[in-house]
A and B are shown apart, each in its own frame.
Chain A
């Protein structure tokens, strides 16, 4: 709740300079906030409501409606393992197991160092490449459990930069 955590508002201030103070900008602002903070912190939502002159209840409504938004802190990189039909048949389960083993978290959880959050998704529209794993913004088609450690290491290198 308000005041529970104090997040740095500098990224938000920068985001707000790019949009008009209007309800029409709400989703774009929330997307940028999500990208900057990796979730929607509640005190940031309060400030967004004030800046765009949108009732806080509306901001919360939109923030909880879309699956792309999270209200709890998430890792810097989101790993999405597709469990749609095609990917399921081609071994999504074994990929999930491998991520669990490597990162020591279950789908829906975040690593203690806030590096990774693992999620499952239902078909990302790339069934021809099944099974598909998306690490951050990188799509890995024909993903193999043996390469999971490599997928993670590549991102970890990015985190360090």
Chain B
């Protein structure tokens, strides 16, 4: 365990925890945008900035992203110093210029006293805050069907050549993780589409629910060395079957 202070309050967290983990553990709120518990921290949005110092640093302090900075013994964290607040405001001001119509960005900016961006608002407003959660979740499942394209103001998330991505399995993880819900998709009992690619749904042979795409079943089967048919039965029916098996087993006994 390591012991540190956050805004003067003591936090004890397991070694390996980040400053953000420690803050959350004692209920100190730090705004974040690109952080997700299921993914490795990335440090891209810079919203979670805090000041850190130590006694032996003799008054010297540095601004770090709390989602990546490891909690250490004796660390003193300040989440709302003047310069932290000022820097966070610049980040939000810029985000609001990029995404002037996005409710999440408007809300975060409002919480920091910004109602309107002081920069030139984006002439082509987008809801994408470039948090990279979608591309990282797609990487984490081992697919990497989408990535950021271009640089600077023109940077966006897109499939290769802006065409339906050949590698996409239609799992919708990217759309689900997106904090601004800006990845459109459609899903029904018979078909699903995302990134311009259309998928056929697999129906559970027991309950008839369309719960997975053909491509997902094939991908999971290939990865796990389990036959594709295993993934045709939905999780709920698998559980029911399992329960039945156990009941009959105990009846035998």
Contacts and interface: CB of A to CB of B under 8 A. Distances in A.
Nearest to A59: B160
Contacts of A67: 151
Interface string B159-187: 11101011100000000000000000000
Contacts of B147: 55, 57-58, 60-61
B146 interface: yes
A1 B161 contact: yes
Given A1-B163, A42-B161, A57 B151 contact: no
Interface string A20-39: 00000000000000000000
B148 A55 contact: no
Given A1-B161, A42-B161, A60 B149 contact: yes
- Main secondary structure on A side of the interface with B: helix
Interface string B131-148: 000010000000111111
B111 interface: no
B166 A61 contact: no
Given A65-B150, A65-B151, 16 more contacts: A42-B161, A55-B143, A55-B145, A55-B167, A56-B165, A56-B166, A56-B167, A57-B145, A57-B146, A57-B147, A57-B159, A60-B160, A61-B147, A64-B149, A64-B151, A67-B151
Interface of A: 1, 42, 45, 55-61, 64-67
